[in-house]
Structure 1
Amino acid sequence: MIDLRSDTVTKPSDEMLETMMAAEVGDDVFGEDPTVMILENKIAKYFGKEAALYCPSGTMTNQIAIRINTQPQDEILCDQTSHIYNYEGGGAAYNSMTSIKLLHGDLGRFTSADVQDNINPDDIHYARTSMVAVENTVNKGGGSVFPLETIKEITKVAIDNKLKMHLDGARIFNALVKTGDNPLDHGKCFHTLSVCFSKGLGAPIGSALLGSKEAIGRAKRVRKVLGGGMRQAGYLAAACIYALENNVQRLKDDHRRANQLANMFEDKMYVENIISAGTNIVIISVAKDKPVKELLAAWKKKGLLAVPFGQNDIRLVTHLNFTDDMLQKTTEILA
């Protein structure tokens, strides 16, 4: 079966498994797991931040970031496509008692002017605008990438208005490989960053929250109350270290295959629109007379899995377990 539902469906390679089994571990809740500490130090240094906190998921790191960057009755600015708004179960309201104001960007990419225009006045009738959340790459934007200069401009507005900047970097490595940007430059733009190891990098589980030592100290308390403390987590952290050291540059292969995959839909009569921003996500809009469920069922019978992504949309995501041979087979299936 060719599985393009997500880049989270990957399985650890033999080399990754060997690294995991050889890991030195301890109790991470007691701060005694040496492999977790190595990972946290490594990823914090990668983006030029003081500290990091290893967590089970990107949803948790995003939710912890919201909790430590806001107060009840605050408001977060993010794009209408953002993961924290669409796919985290209303967590901002439930966990932090904050509201969200949606911006309307280009494939999820908004501008500094959008932020400036949507900051609430200092008036008791309005929620306090306190945080800006940037998602890079943008999942619902077909893997679209925020230009670094745009992020810097947003950061200036945020600093001028005393707003916290948070990066939902579930696929930040895809963005960095696409643009060639220095991760240190991204780190300078954000108070907190959520970085995922279980998507494009292929680790079985885990994300990290990055920030100052003070912020990560507070984040540990929130992780505890959310039930995110893990014990001998070094086995999992070892996989993340392996992924970080071996699976970043190979993301170019995923991007190349996604581009070829997008080209396959150009001549399909049932496809009305294709969104593919040059990373590893392809979104197709299907004609209304071609039900998405029926199309997905037909593909599944032929050995291809994808997911519905809206009423008339389908998302396909390339990853390290999707090979050139599978790409050729996909061509035959779609034909």
Structure 2
Amino acid sequence: MTYTPAPRDPKQTPVRINLLSDTQTRPTPAMRDAMARADVGDEQIGDDPTVNLLCERVADLLGKEAAVFMPSGTMCNVAATLVHCRPGDEILAHESAHIIAREGGAHAALGGFQITALPGADGQFAPDTFRKALHPRTRYQPPQTVVSAEQTANIGGGTIWKKTDLDEVVQIARSNGMATHMDGARLLNACVASGISARDMTAGWDSAWIDFSKGLGAPIGGVIAGSRDFIDEVWRWKQRLGGSMRQAGICAAACVYALDHHVDRLADDHANARALARGLSQIAGMQVQQPETNLVFFTPDGAGVTGDRMVEALRNRGVLLAMMDGRIRACTHLDVTAAMIDETVGLVREIVRGA
């Protein structure tokens, strides 16, 4: 399910089109300028004005009492479960969720937590599946403490959880004394595509975070929000995990800039993803999952080319994509233009013809 890109040979074809991930974005010149001009202080003692501004804005955006700036989204997830749970507790999440597939077993290694994988199409579990996975609270079974949802669902194809399903999951969790955590790695992609505000999307969720190093284009960082008491405990784990920083305003300034300039333009990435899917679908034998946001999953086997061979052939032409869960994933972002999408489709067609 996970992938490890092979080290690039400096003699290989230079990368011209990077569809590997939206984490590949580079800070724009204007973002770099904002970083250079950032007002900074000691973040660890609450003395960095730019970090404080960012946290206030995200807390307001998500409708929570407080927020904290973290070096990565993974640290947001790990710190959240370390606050919500105790050793031996059980977390429920979709079987393809980032906390299961892509965080190195951190939740088990650091917290001693058990994660139960819930099945479901397109990276999402149905509320009824969640309900049926609950068990009576007895000494024979682990306490079920947290349910987590990933918005958007990465391995599911960048799909968007319906608001009604999110609300029902919250209702079930509350009636069973459980906390709710939203992995918001691409939360704003979901908001832009659906027209639902981030505040409404995360309403009722005890903790939620935004990743700034993906489609928002910042070089580093995520911000997790929740109640003041919850964030106080997250800070304790941030300190323990080595995530407390000093003049972090330089990084936070990029995130503030992204909130001001890079949210609405996520719609451009979604349009490019649809254009890519449309072009690939016109190639005979190509199986393409129609995108809801900025991720396009496709399988070229029916066109006579294996996924691994297609990825390698495109790499040799300067186009980077990833094999993930047996399919090819292409990810659009602010460094990908419509012209690059057209060129990628043309190259895929050329490779298929050659096969």
Q: TM-score, with normalisation over the residues of structure 1?
A: 0.96
CA distance in 1 between partners of 2:292 and 2:284 (Å): 23
Aligned residue type for 1:227: G
Higher mean displacement: 122-131 or 169-178? 122-131
CA distance in 2 between partners of 1:130 and 1:94 (Å): 17
CA distance in 2 between partners of 1:72 and 1:269 (Å): 52
**Aligned 8 A contact 1:137 1:169 in 2:** yes
Match of 2:65 in 1: 50
Map Cα deviations across residues 293-315 of structure 1 (whole Å, 9 max, x no partner). 322111112221101112x3111
Moved over 4 A (4+): none
Match of 1:281 among 295, 318, 323: 295
Match of 2:151 among 136, 142, 160: 136
Match of 1:262 in 2: 277
**Aligned 8 A contact 1:304 1:333 in 2:** no
Higher mean displacement: 280-289 or 224-233? 280-289
**Aligned 8 A contact 1:62 1:168 in 2:** yes
Aligned-residue RMSD, C-alpha: 1.3
Map Cα deviations across residues 159-187 of structure 1 (whole Å, 9 max, x no partner). 10010000000000000001111222223
Match of 2:219 among 204, 213, 222: 204
**Aligned 8 A contact 2:96 2:123 in 1:** yes
Higher mean displacement: 291-300 or 143-152? 291-300
CA distance in 2 between partners of 1:69 and 1:293 (Å): 40
CA distance in 1 between partners of 2:200 and 2:282 (Å): 40
Match of 1:191 in 2: 206
- Residues 164/11 of structure 1: CA separation in 2 closer, same or farther (3 Å cut): same
Match of 2:318 in 1: 303
**Aligned 8 A contact 2:123 2:157 in 1:** no
- Whether 1:19 aligns to 2:28 is no
Match of 1:97 in 2: 112
**Aligned 8 A contact 1:49 1:187 in 2:** no
Match of 2:122 in 1: 107
**Aligned 8 A contact 2:50 2:253 in 1:** yes
Match of 1:333 in 2: 347
Higher mean displacement: 161-170 or 107-116? 107-116
In structure 2, stretches of 5+ residues that fail to align are 1-15, 350-355
Match of 1:314 in 2: 328
CA distance in 2 between partners of 1:68 and 1:47 (Å): 19
- Residues 276/57 of structure 1: CA separation in 2 closer, same or farther (3 Å cut): farther
Map Cα deviations across residues 138-176 of structure 1 (whole Å, 9 max, x no partner). 000110000111100110001100100000000000000
Pairwise CA distance, 1:269: 4.3
CA distance in 1 between partners of 2:276 and 2:199 (Å): 32
SS at match of 2:121: coil
Match of 1:213 in 2: 228
Match of 2:306 among 288, 291, 297: 291
Pairwise CA distance, 1:77: 0.7
Map Cα deviations across residues 233-274 of structure 1 (whole Å, 9 max, x no partner). 000000000001111111111001101111122133453x32
SS at match of 2:22: coil
Aligned residue type for 1:331: V
Aligned residue type for 2:245: M
Aligned residue type for 1:333: L
Match of 1:121 among 116, 133, 136: 136
CA distance in 2 between partners of 1:189 and 1:78 (Å): 17
Map Cα deviations across residues 272-330 of structure 1 (whole Å, 9 max, x no partner). x32233200011124286333322111112221101112x3111000001012212221
Higher mean displacement: 66-75 or 323-332? 323-332
Map Cα deviations across residues 86-118 of structure 1 (whole Å, 9 max, x no partner). 000011101111101111112112222111111
CA distance in 1 between partners of 2:187 and 2:21 (Å): 16
CA distance in 1 between partners of 2:96 and 2:147 (Å): 14
CA distance in 1 between partners of 2:49 and 2:194 (Å): 33
How many residue pairs match? The answer is 333
Match of 1:181 in 2: 196
Aligned residue type for 1:45: D
Q: TM-score, with normalisation over the residues of structure 2?
A: 0.91
Higher mean displacement: 126-135 or 273-282? 273-282
Aligned residue type for 1:113: D
Pairwise CA distance, 1:224: 0.8
- Whether 1:68 aligns to 2:83 is yes
CA distance in 1 between partners of 2:284 and 2:110 (Å): 45
Aligned residue type for 1:251: L
CA distance in 2 between partners of 1:166 and 1:144 (Å): 18
Q: Percent identity?
A: 36
CA distance in 1 between partners of 2:322 and 2:285 (Å): 17
